[in-house]
Amino acid sequence: MDRVIRVGLLGCGVVGTGTLQILRDNAASLTRRLGAPIEVRKVVAKDRDKPRHDVVRPEQLSFDPEDVLGDPEVDIVVELAGGLEPAGSWVRRALKADKSVVTANKFLLAEHGHELFGLAEDHGVDLYFEAAVCGGIPVIRVLREALASDSVLALRGIVNGTSNFILTRMQQDGLDYSVALAQAQEAGYAEADPSLDVNGGDASHKLTILATLAFGAKLVPSDVAVEGIEHLTALDMKMAARFGRVVKLLATGRSLPGWDGAPGPLDLRVHPALIPTTSPLASVSGALNAVHIEGERLGPCLLTGYGAGAMPTAMSVVSDLVDVGRNLLTHASGRVPQRAVSSAHLARRAVQAPTAHVGRYYLRFPILDRPGVLARIVGVLGAFDVPIEHMLQESRTPGSKEPVQVVVLTHAARDGNIRSTISEVQRLSGIAAPPVAIRLEEA
């Protein structure tokens, strides 16, 4: 190969444009670091009417992916279109043509990673994806390379900036969910269809990828128990503050101990949780992301920064390009197993059923202020072995017909028993609205 790394971009939106800007503005330093210039041969987009003159030269622009995928001169395909298709077919096609790929597509890698990484290994090429999880935070490299000598016991992260922005606005400004969501959309953090951000789907894709690397396990998104933030209210944020806590959407992966020192099942969950205001994750506000890793030998390690946005995400894409380029120049593609271990060494690990999880809970029961209701609730909690640590009942505003809130913080209880408690309490007379259960985590 001559000493030029030739790149084709599929997608020129937020991240694609940022990638082209960095490649243009940092060309000299990138060439020094890589030992060869990076040449962008083609940039493929869909909409012919969008202006892109500031970053794409007219002869670079194409609307036909074949101009990248069918070009034998292209060494690295950068997939920045997103979604499962046509991005998935493009990545397959590139890998089968012995081209390395850089992508930011967590959805594709969480759903089809095993097939795609297998293809990369079979063809002796790289499939790099630092930008796919937590945008600009180099968490993939840390898990893949820096922690090669350690065992990850647990990781816990705030990995979706949109939901974190919404929760921060609800917590700090007392906004209702729908108002905070509208603000996130106005600020450009949430998509027109924000479902995957707020229902925990995006975070579960990222956790699937992170946990695969952290635990060397073969995982799919359905291994993660998922709950979103759509049902949270400003009232729960206010209550959380009364207990010295904030509400965060946490992605948690833990390796549970098994028998005789053997690894037990994995505990993989995405859900809102009340965490102490003193926790390092509590101050991760707005669109910031963070991942807290607990290594057996390293101990705790916190990585935080911007998990999205053109520049932080494109920075990760270009760093991947440099790494993949170095591998091409030294004929070392595939030298570093992309998921910390090769596909053949990914272990099958059992995953703990969500109902088996044991932890503490915040429970809120909106009740009618009548005698006996509280006693019946306490009876149900006792019947399902849910130990009460703290209980408070709001005083009623004189003359108000509004429900009164009863809040319980529990000691450790089984998730399955909490679910049974909630459905049983819902059937009691004097319950004004469905009860709310949110996990407590010490994070």
Ligand X SMILES: NC(=O)c1ccc[n+]([C@@H]2O[C@H](COP(=O)([O-])OP(=O)(O)OC[C@H]3O[C@@H](n4cnc5c(N)ncnc54)[C@H](OP(=O)(O)O)[C@@H]3O)[C@@H](O)[C@H]2O)c1
37 binds ligand X (CB under 6 A): no
Query: Which burial class, exposed, middle or buried, applies to 211 when counting CB atoms under 10 A from its CB (0-12, 13-18, 19+)?
Result: buried
The reply to whether 99 belongs to the active site is no
Pick from 26, 36, 71, 86 the residue near ligand X by CB under 6 A: 86
Binding to ligand X (CB under 6 A) within 300-359 occurs at: 308-309, 313
We find the least distance from the C-beta atom of residue 387 to ligand X, in angstroms, to be 42
CA 427 – CA 158 distance, rounded (Å): 35
CA 78 – CA 76 distance, rounded (Å): 6
**Between residues 306 and 361, which has the closer beta carbon with respect to ligand X?**
306
We find the least distance from the C-beta atom of residue 43 to ligand X, in angstroms, to be 9
We find the least distance from the C-beta atom of residue 101 to ligand X, in angstroms, to be 13
23 binds ligand X (CB under 6 A): no
**Strand bridging mode 245-257 / 225-226:** unpaired
46 binds ligand X (CB under 6 A): yes
Pick from 7, 34, 91, 105 the residue near ligand X by CB under 6 A: 105
CA 42 – CA 143 distance, rounded (Å): 32
251 binds ligand X (CB under 6 A): no
We find the least distance from the C-beta atom of residue 308 to ligand X, in angstroms, to be 3
**Between residues 104 and 418, which has the closer beta carbon with respect to ligand X?**
104
Q: Which tokens belong to 200?
A: 């925990």
- Per-residue DSSP letter, 57: -
Write down the residue that tokens 């997608």 correspond to. 11
**Between residues 13 and 305, which has the closer beta carbon with respect to ligand X?**
13
Sequence-ordered list of residues with C-beta below 8 angstroms from that of 35, at least 6 positions apart, any chain:
3, 326, 329
Closest residue (Cβ) to ligand X?
Answer: 13
CA 341 – CA 144 distance, rounded (Å): 8
User: Strands (DSSP E) along 99-231, which ranges?
Assistant: 100-103, 127-128, 152-158, 225-226
Q: How many residues bind ligand X (CB under 6 A)?
A: 23
Write down the residue that tokens 């950068």 correspond to. 78
Q: Which entry of 206, 218, 238, 401 is annotated as an active-site residue?
A: 206
Pick from 26, 39, 82, 92 the residue near ligand X by CB under 6 A: 82
Catalytic residues: 206
Residues that bind ligand X (CB under 6 A): 11-16, 44-47, 50, 80-82, 86, 104-106, 131, 135, 308-309, 313
